[in-house]
Amino acid sequence: MTPIRPDTPPDTLRPSRRARPAAAIAVVAALAAACSSTAVPPSGEAHTAPAGAPSAYGAPPAAAPAATQAAQAASRAFSAQVDAATSAFGSAVGRLQADVTSGDTAAARSDELAAQAGFDAFRVLESGNAVNGATLDEQSTDVGAQESFGGLHAIERDLWTSGPLAADVSGLAGQAPVAQFLLGRERLGPEAVGVVAVDQLNWITDDALPVSQERYSHLGLVDVAATEQAAHQTFTDILPLAEDVDPALASTVAGQFTVLDGEVAALGDPATVPDTSVAPAARLAVSRQLDATAATLARLAATLTPYGTRGAPS
């Protein structure tokens, strides 16, 4: 078997799914906005609901009141998760700006990594907003000839090599509240939340593991660890409902995440382990576990389609 280098293109590791996040976010948006067809429970069984109760998915859901309450709880839990992530991101950016003002490079590097981890927790939601996402986390290779390079990776370059650090940090500080405001309005149903978790896992496999996203600090594990943790938390948000709908499948996914947590942790400390220190065999093992977990989680998310939130505020 050919060893997988840290800079191996994604298509040498596995078939690329780079188009998936944007498409999946479109699905998320469609689900969140509601569709016009009547949902049918995957089991084909009839569930009762209060007559005329509206659904986030269109027609009255074929879900019992208890399941509807669990669906509402899942939506609220995910909203709280996103709020916490954007708040952590904003706080890290604030500390980063203070570090730069005081000239503390070591603290600035630490807080830049913290800000990156915060962004990773809501990255797949930002992929639906190309302008804001690029402003926060674009790569230098994504910048056109007449465009300026900014965001987290510009600051990474400034801190680990050289660049206009104060100006780049100021630009990011101006965008952080925008991200927090926009994502604070997200209201997703249970299946859509499950799709987010699947996309988080797929992004690691397709992008973060094959080619380090941290091209100046060479600490790409920060993206791997933070995104995996976010995916696990996203799954946890829908777990109570999933355990009611398909307990066996929910248990399988929970077990897969336990294994995945251990394998990612075994890669080392994200803040100190350089990309070149991660063995190709370890990368392959984690990629396989990510793939297996994402596949099972996608099946589980599909079973949650009938369980809308009855239009209740999240």
What are the residue boundaries of the structural domains of the chain, listed by start? 66-302
The mean predicted confidence, pLDDT, of the chain is: 80
Coil, strand, or helix at residue 55? strand
Q: Which amino acid makes up residue 122?
A: F
The pLDDT of residue 223: 97
User: Any residues with CB less than 8 A from the CB of 102 and at least 6 apart, and which?
Assistant: none
The amino acid occupying position 284 is L
- Name residues whose C-beta falls within 8 Å of residue 288's C-beta, 6 or more positions apart in sequence: none
229 vs 133, higher pLDDT: 229
Fold of 66-302: A middle domain of Talin 1 (1.20.1420)
Tell me the angle at which helices 130-137 and 165-183 cross, rounded to the nearest 10 degrees: 140
**Rounded Cα gap, residues 110 and 107, in angstroms:** 5
pLDDT in the model for residue 194: 97
Query: Span 209-214, mean pLDDT?
Result: 93
List pLDDT tens digits, range 40-59. Answer: 344 334 333 443 344 443 44
For 20, the token pair is 């998936």
pLDDT, greater one: 35 or 68:
68
pTM for this structure?
0.77
Angle, CA 309 vertex, CA 250 and CA 35 arms, to 5°: 100
Which two tokens mark 256? 């897969």
**What SS3 class is residue 35?**
coil
Phi, psi of 294 (to 5 degrees): -60, -40
Query: Cβ atoms within 10 A of the Cβ of 235, count?
Result: 26
* pLDDT for the residue 149: 75
User: Cβ neighbours of residue 110 under 8 Å, at least 6 residues apart?
Assistant: 271
| Per-residue model confidence (pLDDT) at position 140 | 72
Residue 276 has pLDDT above 70, yes or no: yes
- pLDDT at residue 96 is higher than 50: yes
The Cα–Cα gap between 118 and 160 comes to: 20
Question: pLDDT at position 61, please?
Answer: 47
The whole-number pLDDT of residue 150 equals: 82
Q: Of 84-98, 132-146, 260-274, which gets the smallest average pLDDT? A: 132-146
Q: In this structure, which amino acid lies at residue 205?
A: T
Give tens-digit pLDDT for 102-128.
Answer: 999 999 999 999 999 999 999 998 866
Residue with tokens 């991200």: 179
pLDDT band per the 50, 70, 90 thresholds, residue 180:
confident
Distances (CA, A) of 169 to 6, 131, 152, 154, 199: 28, 18, 8, 9, 29
- Give DSSP secondary structure letters for 176-214: HHHHHHHHTT----HHHHHHHHHHHHHHIIIIITTS-S-
Nearest-angstrom CA–CA distance, 235 and 94: 29
